[in-house]
Amino acid sequence: MSTAELPAGSTKTRNPLLDALLPLAVDVVVPLGTYYAARAFGVGIVPALIISSVVPAVRTVYGLVRSRRAGAGSRSGAGLAPLILVVNVVGLVTTFITGDPRLMIAKDGLVSSAIGIGILVSVVRGRPVMSAGLRPFLTKGDAAREAAWEALRTGSGQVATAGSAAFRRSELAHSVVWGVALVLECAARVVGAYTLPLATMAWLPTVLLIGAIGVASMVSGPCTERMKKLMDQQIKNGE
């Protein structure tokens, strides 16, 4: 069904799951495929690692430029982009100068650390950046669910104080889980970069990242479910 064929008053929204998985594909699948393709053509380890880092770096720059053009309404997670870009550029330049492939692999771990630390700092500031990605999953573009999210998050409207506090705790805990998971993934990657064979570290970081995402999703699941139930209760009370 085309947009023109949609019923009056409805809009065709993007799938939030696709929006979440696309950056993962760009940052994980594309670099890994690029690395092995370069190696297959006889490119050295260091140049191959540098080439594989170009696409994520370009995506970071694009995301930063797009968020600035969009304005304040899309800045919830944009504060991490400059930090990630700096880590990428410094790592690339340092690796190019030193020619150390292990440093290149460790640099990629520092990107995860930068994101993880940024998430934890946002929790301390009371503005968890992971909520920007969580909100579309829980609200699904529904006006009533959007209103419930806002009421619970701000403690406004008819929501009970206890419900709002529980919602806020779960929201913060969700970001804490993801921040800690990414910091630990960074630590594992840096240790592996200087203790394991380079051939192993060409693919192991991808496994570590996917594992960290999987564990974070599982551990943060109860937080998400608790928020969903509170939203359902808020909508029911508002009827």
Check whether 170 has a pLDDT greater than 70. Answer: yes
Q: Does pTM surpass 0.75?
A: no
Q: Write out pLDDT tens, residues 45-62.
A: 667 666 766 766 676 666
Show Cβ contacts of residue 225 under 8 Å, excluding neighbours closer than 6 positions: none
Q: Write out pLDDT tens, residues 66-78.
A: 655 544 444 444 4
State how far the alpha carbon of 119 is from the alpha carbons of 96, 125, 137, 181, 226, in Å.
29, 10, 19, 11, 21
Q: What is the pLDDT of residue 1?
A: 45
Q: What is the pLDDT of residue 40?
A: 74
